[in-house]
């Protein structure tokens, strides 16, 4: 299944837990992991659907969106390329609770549920990786809930630029439209905040993309704009 996408094989082989599993399991992983493609705006995994595995973003960007928030302003978790999501769903025998929406053309990888379960039962390294990932997602979710209830648009935009959500890069391949969808604010509001952040040297904007210039200044801005 992965022969037509060599980068998928490299992605799986590069996972920190991959080298610790048996050769037979490595071969199963290469043979059984599935690729799923979607275009911008597609609901790639709908809420209420059966959970068939654990997913990673091979390329593109998706938004994890509660179906109850479709008609109101809400913030959502974005998952960029190289990151996994849906571990909570894979651990529970119940339908998926959220929509997975492509914000740009996207390719997902699915680690089928039987393989996910076997790895959980046999691999310490896999379980350690899973626990760290669950802890990160919990921190993101709690921060989003708090920011959505009490914080200003300035704080919310700055928060979504922080390392809490983008650990691996400080040059975000993210348009203002995409950032607005994640934060739950209009593009105009996001643009206003980004221009202000650019004016004080925290970010730079280039062809609609955002780069973090000064992480320390961003952290100080978050403290300064936090609700008391």
pLDDT value of residue 65:
83
Distance CA 132, CA 127 (A): 9
Same domain, 142 and 192: no
Q: Which of 122, 147, 172 is the last residue of a domain?
A: 147
Angle formed by the axes of helices 187-199 and 153-160, nearest 10°: 80
For residue 191, the domain's CATH number is 1.10.10.10
Look at residue 6 and tell me whether its pLDDT is greater than 60.
no
For residues 158-182, give the mean pLDDT.
78
Is the CB of residue 106 less than 8 Å from the CB of residue 62? Answer: yes
Q: Is there a single domain that holds both residue 155 and residue 140?
A: no
171 and 110 in one domain?
no
In a domain, 129, yes or no: yes
- Whether residue 202 is found in the same domain as residue 100: no
Looking at the structure, do residues 97 and 120 belong to the same domain, yes or no?
yes
Does residue 76 carry a pLDDT above 80? no
The number of beta carbons lying within 10 Å of the beta carbon of residue 65 is 21
Please say which residue of 147, 181, 200 terminates a domain. Answer: 147
Over residues 171-195, the mean pLDDT reads: 85
* Distance in angstroms (rounded) separating the CA atoms of residues 178 and 63: 9
pLDDT of residue 3: 40
Please tell me the predicted confidence (pLDDT) of residue 208: 66
Q: Is residue 42 part of a domain?
A: yes
User: Average pLDDT in the 203-210 region?
Assistant: 81
> Is residue 1 over pLDDT 50?
no
Residue 114 pLDDT: 95
Instruction: Indicate whether 121 and 192 sit together in one domain.
Output: no
What's residue 105's pLDDT?
A: 92
Mean pLDDT of the residues in the chain: 85
- Average pLDDT, integer, range 83-109: 91
Across 30-44, 51-65, 107-121, 166-180, least confident range: 166-180
Res 128 pLDDT > 70: yes
For residue 152, pLDDT over 60 is answered with yes
Residue 2: predicted pLDDT = 45
Q: Where are the alpha helices (DSSP H) in the chain?
A: 6-13, 23-32, 87-91, 113-122, 124-150, 153-160, 176-183, 187-199, 215-225
Q: Give the mean model confidence (pLDDT) for residues 4-18.
A: 80
Residue 74 maps to which CATH number?
2.60.120.10
CB 104, CB 80: distance < 8 Å: no
What is residue 150's predicted lDDT score, i.e. its pLDDT?
A: 61
**How far is it, in rounded angstroms, from Cα 45 to Cα 96?**
8
Q: List phi, psi (to 5°) of 226.
A: -70, 140
41 and 136 in a single domain? The answer is yes
Question: Using 50, 70 and 90 to split pLDDT, how confident is the model at 169?
Answer: low
Backbone region of residue 108 per phi and psi (left: phi > 0; alpha: psi in -120 to 50; beta: other values): beta
Does some domain include residue 116? yes
Domain of 218 in residue numbering reads as 151-225
Same domain, 143 and 155: no
Say if residue 24 is in the same domain as residue 121.
Answer: yes
Judgement on whether residues 195 and 95 belong to the same structural domain of the protein:
no
**Shared-domain flag, residues 13 and 26:** yes
Of 159, 203, 209, the closest CA to residue 182 belongs to 159
Given 123, 147, 171, the domain boundary residue is: 147
Tell me what the mean pLDDT of segment 38-52 comes to. Answer: 94
Would you say residue 228 has pLDDT above 50? Answer: no
- DSSP for 54-96 reads EEEEEESEEEEE-GGGTTS----EEEETT-EE-HHHHHSSS--
Q: How far is CA 61 from CA 7, 55, 66, 118, 157, in A?
A: 17, 13, 17, 28, 18
- How many structural domains does the chain have? 2
How many C-beta atoms lie closer than 10 Å to residue 1's C-beta? 12
**For the sheet containing 43-45, what is the strand order?**
43-45, 99-102, 61-65, 77-80
3-class DSSP assignment, residue 177: helix
Flag whether 1 is in a domain. Answer: no
């Amino acid at each position: 299944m992965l022969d037509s996408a060599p980068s998928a094989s490299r992605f799986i082989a590069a996972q920190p837990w991959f080298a610790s599993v048996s050769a037979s399991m490595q071969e199963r992983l290469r043979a059984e992991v599935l690729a799923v493609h979607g275009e911008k705006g597609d609901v790639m995994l709908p809420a209420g659907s059966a959970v068939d595995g654990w997913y990673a973003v091979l390329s593109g960007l998706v938004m994890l969106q509660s179906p109850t928030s479709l008609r109101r302003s809400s913030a959502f978790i974005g998952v960029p390329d190289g990151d996994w999501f849906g571990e909570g769903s894979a651990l529970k025998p119940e339908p998926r609770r959220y929509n997975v929406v492509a914000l740009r053309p996207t390719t997902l990888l699915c680690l089928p549920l039987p393989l996910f379960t076997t790895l959980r039962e046999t691999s310490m390294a896999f379980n350690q990786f899973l626990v760290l990932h669950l802890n990160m997602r919990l921190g993101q979710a709690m921060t989003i809930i708090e920011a959505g209830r009490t914080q200003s648009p300035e704080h919310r935009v700055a928060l979504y630029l922080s390392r809490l959500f983008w650990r691996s890069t400080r040059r975000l391949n993210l348009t203002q439209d995409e950032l607005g969808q994640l934060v739950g604010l209009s593009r105009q509001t996001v643009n206003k905040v980004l221009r202000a952040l650019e004016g004080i040297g925290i970010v730079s904007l280039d062809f609609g993309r955002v780069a973090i210039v000064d992480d320390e200044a961003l952290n100080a801005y978050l403290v300064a704009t936090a609700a008391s």
